Structure 1
Amino acid sequence: MAPGADKKLTGLVAATFTPFTPQGEINLPVIGPYIDYLREKQGVKNVFVNGTTGESMSLSLEERKQLAEEWCLRAHGKLEQVIVHVGCMSVKDSQELARHAAQIGVDGIAVISPSFFKPKSADTLRTFLKEVASVAPNLPFYFYHLPAFTGVNIPGRDVLEGIEKLIPSFRGVKFSGNDLMDFGLCASYSKPSWSVLYGIDEQLLSALVLGANGAVGSTYNYVGRHAKDLISAFENGDLVQAKAIQFKLQELLSYAIKIGFDVGVNKQLMSEISGIRLGPPRLPVEPCSSAHAQSIKQKYTSIFP
């Protein structure tokens, strides 16, 4: 475990894109400049690697290991925490990635529910999470709740019930769902050492009111500095300013969703805004035309001149 790895995770966490070459292979040399951009241009010092934004389920285990290693190597001395998602359809694959994460010194691991053979109860899902956490017992462990993608509609609060007894290394939840009541119940149940992280960027302010310690999101790759201003305004009691920023973020994302916004579009938008060549997404995600991304970028620059 990296020094300071058990420090409570707070603030913004960028859910990172996986850079590919034009031929569709992972492009590791891009990660160094990517980290510099996040730190220097967006003020974001935590990353969530190999998640949904990173197309993890379209990557091989070896690719996921190489990406985790490169992020850890390049982040040293520059970022505060590197959290690596190790969830897979197979508990054995998840365990293999968890062991590897422990070996390379990540700051924490996260696991999403399997989504082909789905757990039928919170108890079954907790048991799956326990089996993965058990092979890396010294690593802070996070549950990644994403019902819209997994189709597993077990309330997050039910999954958290008694989880600290099964998983002593449990340190929080990445809650990427629209159910704010369930999120509030998770926040109210959470222990002081846990991090309750919200994953729906356009509803960040609502989650802060309910007790979020931070947020994990794809848009924080390129609107991180504005989201940081939102959090600062909220913490300083300036709800007028916090709402103004949230409304701007909602305007941008509403526009993007209306004209079509998925991982491929989001990835191309990040390339257009940052100047970092992240390459195409991997099939079955479709590539996005530069013109489509440019349209969203123009909206971005009109909202955040």
Structure 2
Amino acid sequence: MSAMAPSSYKKLTGLIAATFTPFNTDGEVNILEIGPYIDYLTEKQGVRSIFVNGTTGESMSLTVAERKVLAEAWVQKAKGKMDQVIVHVGCMSLKDSQELARHAADIRADAIAVIAPSFFKPSTQDALRLFLQEVASAAPTLPFYYYHIPGVTGVNLPVRDMLEGIEELIPSFRGVKFSGSDLMDFGQCVSSSPAHWSLLYGVDEQLLAGLAMGAHGAVGSTYNYIGCQINKLISAFEKGDLAQARTIQFKMQELLVYAMKLGFDVGVNKQLMMEVSGLRLGPPRLPVMPCPPDRALAISQKHHSLFAEC
């Protein structure tokens, strides 16, 4: 397998929304809401790339068949409206991950990403690299990203060490979605990476620190409903207006601190998205519990008090 030429793909930068999976009231996947969802992101939030079937999308609670249906719908509906659709294909099973990777290539997704397995965890860098290599080999033409989220997987191997020589094993490797708080590890990833890789920061409440460390973009759930404000943060940072960038980052932190005190999880986050956007995304899937209406209303009111419409 030969490496893709760096010029044969578009480098991933800017804000990428980690999308919620729409369900109907019976808990079944509802692809009818995906078109309006994409329109909301592009028209109201100024977000033009999405990361689908990830943590926010409850991927580990979905069947392989459901993930295929969703991936295809996201890619089809985003055509001509979005810059890139990255499909997360990580599973506990290597074979399932490979099946989803092949499917992502068949439907012409722009890239794939893979989380580390979290039941039988890779205990060494070599074990993790071999797992990623086997998944990537099922879709060698698609840009490949490692999705690092140690708080969820329990796999906290230093990413910088894992990246050593990774493109020799995975010619399609193009970067990392780094959803960890270790800014030294993230900085080392940025400083040691070739120019055609994208290092994407995934801890929304620390985005400004990630940008200071050299992040090329950001993937997060809050960008679904405050993306327009975070685009202003990035613009302020790029102009050297750190005071303005900090003001926006501190407002986001204030919202999340308030939400966390009430109990902030995927179910609450999804309900907040519905309150802000008006989209019908349905309840989360068990074991994630639905958000109590009074809690959703309180967080929504806090959101409106902090963030005016763009």
Name 2:204's counterpart in structure 1.
201
- In the alignment, the residues of structure 2 paired with residue 6 and residue 89 of structure 1 have an alpha-carbon distance, to the nearest angstrom, of 29
State the Cα deviation string for residues 88-128 of structure 1 (Å, max 9, x = none): 00110000000000000000000000000000101110010
Which residue identity does 2:252 align to in structure 1? L
1:5: Cα distance to partner?
Answer: 7.4
Name 1:94's counterpart in structure 2.
97
Which residue identity does 1:189 align to in structure 2? S
Name 1:232's counterpart in structure 2.
235
- In the alignment, the residues of structure 2 paired with residue 255 and residue 129 of structure 1 have an alpha-carbon distance, to the nearest angstrom, of 37
- In the alignment, the residues of structure 2 paired with residue 45 and residue 293 of structure 1 have an alpha-carbon distance, to the nearest angstrom, of 27
- In the alignment, the residues of structure 2 paired with residue 289 and residue 270 of structure 1 have an alpha-carbon distance, to the nearest angstrom, of 14
Counterpart pick for 1:182 among 180, 185, 193: 185
Which residue identity does 1:127 align to in structure 2? L
State the Cα deviation string for residues 239-279 of structure 1 (Å, max 9, x = none): 11111111111111111111110000000000000000100
TM-score normalized by the length of structure 2: 0.96
State the Cα deviation string for residues 219-252 of structure 1 (Å, max 9, x = none): 0000000100000000011111111111111111
- In the alignment, the residues of structure 2 paired with residue 182 and residue 140 of structure 1 have an alpha-carbon distance, to the nearest angstrom, of 22
State the Cα deviation string for residues 50-78 of structure 1 (Å, max 9, x = none): 00000000000000000000001000000
- In the alignment, the residues of structure 2 paired with residue 69 and residue 304 of structure 1 have an alpha-carbon distance, to the nearest angstrom, of 33
Which residue identity does 1:226 align to in structure 2? Q
1:153: Cα distance to partner?
Answer: 1.2
Map 1:21-32 to 2 at 5 A. Answer: 21-32=24-35
Moved over 4 A (4+): none
Which residue identity does 2:225 align to in structure 1? Y
Q: Secondary structure at the match of 2:232?
A: helix
Name 1:272's counterpart in structure 2.
275
Counterpart pick for 1:79 among 49, 58, 82: 82
Name 1:259's counterpart in structure 2.
262
Map 1:1-12 to 2 at 5 A. Answer: 6-12=9-15
Using the aligned pairs only, state the percent identity.
Answer: 70
- In the alignment, the residues of structure 2 paired with residue 149 and residue 6 of structure 1 have an alpha-carbon distance, to the nearest angstrom, of 30
State the Cα deviation string for residues 267-302 of structure 1 (Å, max 9, x = none): 000000000010000001001122211100111111
Name 1:61's counterpart in structure 2.
64
- In the alignment, the residues of structure 2 paired with residue 256 and residue 157 of structure 1 have an alpha-carbon distance, to the nearest angstrom, of 32
Name 1:129's counterpart in structure 2.
132
Name 1:154's counterpart in structure 2.
157
Which residue identity does 1:92 align to in structure 2? K
Q: 1:69–1:104: 8 Å Cα contact kept in structure 2? A: yes
Q: 1:5–1:106: 8 Å Cα contact kept in structure 2? A: no
Counterpart pick for 2:40 among 19, 37, 40: 37
Q: 1:5–1:108: 8 Å Cα contact kept in structure 2? A: no
Which residue identity does 1:81 align to in structure 2? Q
- In the alignment, the residues of structure 2 paired with residue 304 and residue 67 of structure 1 have an alpha-carbon distance, to the nearest angstrom, of 31
The question of 1:111 aligning with 2:98 is answered: no
Counterpart pick for 1:289 among 276, 292, 296: 292
In the alignment, structure 1 segments of 5+ residues that lack a partner are none
Q: Secondary structure at the match of 2:96?
A: helix
In the alignment, structure 2 segments of 5+ residues that lack a partner are none
Q: 1:164–1:170: 8 Å Cα contact kept in structure 2? A: yes
Which residue identity does 1:108 align to in structure 2? A
Q: 1:95–1:131: 8 Å Cα contact kept in structure 2? A: yes
- In the alignment, the residues of structure 1 paired with residue 36 and residue 171 of structure 2 have an alpha-carbon distance, to the nearest angstrom, of 36
Cα separation, partners in 2 of 1:304 and 1:191, compared to 1, 3 Å: same
Which residue identity does 1:241 align to in structure 2? Q
